[in-house]
Structures are given as C-alpha cells and as structure tokens.
C-alpha cells in the first residue's frame, strides 16, 4: 500500500477530484445492473464470490482453496473461476501443463492445491458457463475475487479484510485503496478478517490466520525441512505478493531472521533476480514458487500455508448451500 494511502496526505487530498469521478462512475455502473439496463448472468448453480473492497492482497486465495476443499469433502463438486492476472488474457481452462505466462500464478497455485476445474478469463460469467458446459457435475462455482464484477449474479458474497492495513485512509481510488465504499461490506453475507480483529462489522465475521511450518525444496517438493534446519546458515526471503510483510512476519514467528527482498505483486521473476542474491539459500512463498522453478539456480525452498478460521465460517457456507439446494 503506498504511503499516501495509509493516511490522509497532501497527495491523497490533491487526487480527490479524480476520486469523485471514480465514485460517480462506480455508482452509475452498479445502478445500471441494479435496474436492469445491463443484465447480470445467472448461473444455474450457486455462485460464491470471495473478494475485497481494497486494492492489494488480503489473503483471498487461501480462503478460496479452503472453501473448495471443504466443499469437496462435503460431497459437492466445486469449479473455480478467476481473472488470471498477468496471464495472456485468454479465456481458458487451467491444466497440468499451464504456465504462469498463460494463466497467471494464482490459478496454477489454486489448481495444484484443490484439483478441481479452474477457469481463467476477464469475463467471469463466460468462464462459469464454460466450466459447467465441460463439467456438468460441477454444482457450485467459486469466484476468486470479482466482488465488483456485477455482470455475474452471486448467491454468497465473502468480503476479505486485511486486519493490519484495514482500509488505509478510507478513501476511494485514486486517493485511497478502496474499490468501493466501506458501506459495501454490509451488503455482503460474510466477512473474514485476515489478522487482528478490527471494529465490529454489521455482518457475521470470523478471523483467519495462515498456518504453515514445513518448507519444500523447489527443485523437488517431496523433500521437506523445518525452520530449525534453515537456522544453520544465512538465508534470504523473497516475496512477490500483495503484502510481503505478512510472509516475513510469518517467518519470524518460526524463529527465522532472514534478509528480506520485496518484489511487486505477481512479479515475473528472471535469472537476474536470483543472481543478485548473495546468500546460497532462498526461501519464498508458494505463489512465488509457481514461477521460479526454471529460474532459480540456487538452493530454494518454499513455504505452503493454509487458512485457519476461528469460527464456523466453512460450516456457515455449507449450510447456506444446503438451503439453496432445498
């Protein structure tokens, strides 16, 4: 999050005229769908949207993975749609041979962790229709992001909030980090706070934390180690995610004190990125590992994490789906 978004600043105030334009355009767009000038597509299976109202990483992907795996365990057959950011923009299915340059990094990560149909593309309605057409057994769609994609009707909305960065200066783009006003939260069904609890929200809320302590070797993920094994030498931690500091703090909680290097979210790594790192051992996120296997000449390890909820979040979603199916 840029410093100018963290609190009121001269820059955020100077951008207020543009923020007013953004506010008007957003409101008009929502109104157009609400009154039916533009029709939203209704899929014949329930649609769960996991999104946020701020720009940047809030931890949506681990939540999507947790929901999808829980639905599979309960006997449902989920399909997942996502934008495929930093892919080539083609509407397509994610398969074993898909590459980050084709579909983006997060869709490959989701596919590997859930093993269910995953489709990418800018048009989520079309992606959902293509999944159902190819996989008639799919009986629930999960949209990774897309809270603002009103062209697709949804049955359950989950809003994810960063408990540390919260809403920044609470201003809309470009003066602040908000895609929509904070009042949008009260129209969602469930809220997940990633990190410390924030002020009371008007909808059912649960807290989440990411857990994980076993590192996997990038060149052979079947080889694992724990943080204690990595204390024997100096290491460098890299992160090209929406909130790198969360990953670095996680490493510190495991007892590691690595040198840290931040890259932009969805960074496209190259050999140069690794040649400039002095330490022989590099640790990274699982999302980075998707893109780094062919570029990393040094000893690299990645840390898979899973979402852990402190309330009946998953059970609530399953109950809502049972009601949908009667």
The 10s digit of each residue's pLDDT in 33-65 is 999 898 999 999 999 999 999 998 889 999 999
Q: Per-residue confidence at 248, pLDDT binned at 50, 70, 90?
A: very high
The 10s digit of each residue's pLDDT in 173-214 is 999 999 999 999 999 999 999 987 767 899 999 999 999 999
Calculate mean pLDDT across residues 110-127. Answer: 96
pTM over 0.75: yes
The 10s digit of each residue's pLDDT in 273-324 is 998 898 889 999 999 999 998 777 779 999 999 999 998 999 999 999 988 8
Predicted confidence (pLDDT) at residue 74 exceeds the cutoff of 90: yes
Q: Under a CB-based contact definition with an 8 Å cutoff, are residues 238 and 291 in contact?
A: no
The DSSP 8-state label assigned to residue 111 in this structure reads H
Residue 115: Cβ-neighbour burial (10 angstroms; 0-12, 13-18, 19+): exposed
Question: How many separate helices (H) and strands (E) can be counted in the chain?
Answer: 12, 15
Confidence at residue 3, expressed as pLDDT on a 0 to 100 scale: 82
Does the domain at 3-209+309-324 match CATH 3.30.70.580? Answer given as no
Architecture of domain 213-304: 3-Layer(aba) Sandwich (3.40)
Predicted confidence (pLDDT) at residue 227 exceeds the cutoff of 90: yes
Is the Cα torsion angle 209, 306, 265, 126 positive or negative in sign? Answer: negative
Q: State how far the Cα of 96 lies from the Cα of 293, in Å rounded to an integer.
A: 15
> Which residue in 242, 262, 246 sits closest to 303, CA to CA?
246
Confidence at residue 325, expressed as pLDDT on a 0 to 100 scale: 62
The DSSP 8-state label assigned to residue 184 in this structure reads G
Measured CA to CA in angstroms, residue 226 lies from 240, 277, 296 at distances of: 22, 22, 20
Q: What residues pair up with 283 in beta bridges, in sequence order?
A: 237, 301
Predicted confidence (pLDDT) at residue 222 exceeds the cutoff of 70: yes
Q: Under a CB-based contact definition with an 8 Å cutoff, are residues 52 and 60 in contact?
A: yes
């Amino acid at each position: 999050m840029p410093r100018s978004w963290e609190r009121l600043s001269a820059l955020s105030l100077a951008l207020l005229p543009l923020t007013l334009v953004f506010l008007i355009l957003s409101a008009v767009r929502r109104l157009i769908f609400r009154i039916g000038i533009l029709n939203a597509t209704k899929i014949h299976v329930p649609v769960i949207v996991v999104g946020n109202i701020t720009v940047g990483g809030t931890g949506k992907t681990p939540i999507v993975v947790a929901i999808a795996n829980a639905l599979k365990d309960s006997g449902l057959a989920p399909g997942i749609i996502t934008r495929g950011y930093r892919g080539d923009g083609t509407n397509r299915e994610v398969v074993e041979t898909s590459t980050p340059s084709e579909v983006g990094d997060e869709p490959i990560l989701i596919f590997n962790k859930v093993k269910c149909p995953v489709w990418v593309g800018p048009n989520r309605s079309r992606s959902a229709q293509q999944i159902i057409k190819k996989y008639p057994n799919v009986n629930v769609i999960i949209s990774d992001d897309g809270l603002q994609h009103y062209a697709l009707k949804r049955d359950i909305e989950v809003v994810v909030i960063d408990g540390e960065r919260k809403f920044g200066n609470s201003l809309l783009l470009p003066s602040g980090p908000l895609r929509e006003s904070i009042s949008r939260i009260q129209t969602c069904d469930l809220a997940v706070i990633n990190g410390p609890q924030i002020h009371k929200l008007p909808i059912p809320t649960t807290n989440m934390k990411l857990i994980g302590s076993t590192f996997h070797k990038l060149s052979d993920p079947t080889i694992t180690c724990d943080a204690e094994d990595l204390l024997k030498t100096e290491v460098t931690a890299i992160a090209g995610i929406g909130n790198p500091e969360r990953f670095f703090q996680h490493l510190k909680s495991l007892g590691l004190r690595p040198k840290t290097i931040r890259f932009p979210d969805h960074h496209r790594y190259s050999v140069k990125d690794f040649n400039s790192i002095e330490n022989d051992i590099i640790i990274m996120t699982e999302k980075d590992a998707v893109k780094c296997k062919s570029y990393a000449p040094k000893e690299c390890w990645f840390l898979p994490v899973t979402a852990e909820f402190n309330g009946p979040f998953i059970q609530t979603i399953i109950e809502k789906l049972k009601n949908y199916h009667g």
